Structure formats: C-alpha cells, structure tokens
Amino acid sequence: MDNDIERVLYSEETIKEACQRLGHQMAHDYQDKNPIIVGVLKGAVLFMTDVIREMDILAELDFIDVSSYNGGTASSGEVKLVHDLSIDVADRDIILVEDIIDTGRTLKFMQDLLKERHAHSIKVCTLLDKPSGRVVEAKADYVGFIVPNEFVVGYGLDYGDQYRNLPYVGVLKPEIYENK
Ligand code: XMP
Ligand code: MG
C-alpha cells in the first residue's frame, strides 16, 4: 500500500498533535454542554475515534453517512443521505466531524438537515480543509490542516474505498488513478 503513495503530507505524529490540539479546544468549548459528536462515515471514523479520546467531557456519539463521490476523485455534485442519525438532535449542540471539506456540498447538506431538525447549535471539526475546492459556502470551526488542491488518501480518506487504513495522509501516485 505504501508503494502507491507519492508523498506523505501529514505523518502519524503530526496527526496526533492535531487531534490533541482540536480535542482539548473542543473539550474546553463544550464543557457541561453534553454535545452530540457526529462522525461522517466512512472517512471521519479514524479521526473521530482519535479526537474524542482527547476530550475529557460528557458527550454522546452518533454517525451519519452521506455520499456524493461515488468512489472517484471528483464530486458528482449530488449529495444523498445513506445512513441517518439515531439520536434526536432537537435542542442539542452538535459537533460534525469530517475528514475533509472540499466542495462544501456535503457539509451544506448536513447543516441544512440538522437545522431542519432544530439543532440548538452546529459546529464543524474537520481534519482537512481544502478551501481551493469550494463550490458552495462552507466553513469549519475546528481545522486540523489546510490542504493543497490534490487528491489525498489515508487516515480514513479513500480512493475507491481503499487506503483508509493508512495511518498517515498522503498523495496517491497519479498512475494509480490514471490506470483505472
Ligand atoms: P465535499 O466536496 O462535499 O466533500 O466538501 C466532502 C467529502 O468528499 C470526500 N472527499 C475526498 N476524499 N480525498 C478523499 O479521499 C480527497 O481529496 C477528497 N475530497 C473530498 C470526503 O469523503 C468528504 O467527506
Ligand atoms: Mg470519501
């Protein structure tokens, strides 16, 4: 798997530091709020499980699955709800945990959904932010790293549902997707 990576952008150590920084900040901001921390499947699973271990506060966990990418490297533009939350969000403080915000469409879709359901507040924590990819307005409140305009994989991020289990984030060799 390592052989398919052109270069490492964020090492395990660098990611760990980001999880500590973001986790401690959120724990401070959400003390006594009992937030619902929502992981966006599947990409945010690794990041979520690491970041919540840095948060010494009471919180509930839930998951949502929305899809727009169909496994390729470009957004299809359409966002679908694949798996819904199990907890009622009305009057609750929500932290959405994402792997990456690129076009912003996925985030916008989830924020609209949570607003319709009368969440009390919605904030966004993302491992990666790719502002150069924005198509719709979308802003994260807690950001690990700002990434360049490249397709990245690892630490939850996939290409064709693979590479999610790499412990770091890297750039795929172009021949991997050019050969498909
Ligand atoms: P949007 O474009 O809606 O994208 O902000 C959010 C979702 O798209 C996926 N995504 C990526 N996945 N490498 C990936 O592995 C990337 O560079 C990339 N850009 C977007 C991701 O699942 C995210 O939740
Ligand atoms: Mg994905």
* End-to-end Cα distance, the chain: 16
User: Residue 65: pLDDT above 70?
Assistant: yes
The residue ranking higher by pLDDT, 95 or 2, is: 95
ipTM at complex level:
0.91
Mean of all residue pLDDT scores within the chain: 94
pLDDT band at 39 (very low <50, low <70, confident <90, very high): very high
Atom of ligand 1 nearest to the CA of 104: 5
Confidence (pLDDT) at 70? 59
- pTM for the model: 0.94
User: Residue 74: pLDDT above 90?
Assistant: no
Average pLDDT estimate for 83-104: 98
Atom of ligand 1 nearest to the CA of 40: 24
From the candidates 102, 129, 141, 161, which is the catalytic residue? 102
Q: Which of 70, 80, 82, 100 to mutate to test the pocket of ligand 1 (most atoms within 8 A of CB)?
A: 100
Tell me the H-state helices in 30-178: 45-52, 105-116, 174-178
Residue 102 annotated as catalytic: yes
State the maximum Cα–Cα separation within the chain, in Å, rounded to a whole number: 52
pLDDT band at 67 (very low <50, low <70, confident <90, very high): confident
Q: Determine the Cα–Cα distance for residues 96 and 104; give it in Å rounded to an integer.
A: 13
Confidence (pLDDT) at 177? 79
Confidence (pLDDT) at 73? 63
Which residues make up the environment of ion ligand 2, defined by Cβ < 5 Å?
43
How remote is the C-alpha of 136 from its chain's centroid?
A: 17
User: Residue 52: pLDDT above 70?
Assistant: yes
Domain ranges of the chain: 12-148
The residue ranking higher by pLDDT, 39 or 78, is: 39
Question: Any idea which architecture 12-148 has in CATH?
Answer: 3-Layer(aba) Sandwich (3.40)
**Secondary structure class of 135 (helix, strand, coil):** coil
User: Residue 78: pLDDT above 60?
Assistant: yes
Average pLDDT estimate for 44-60: 98
Atom of ligand 1 nearest to the CA of 106: 3
Confidence (pLDDT) at 153? 97
| Six token digits for residue 167 | 């412990």
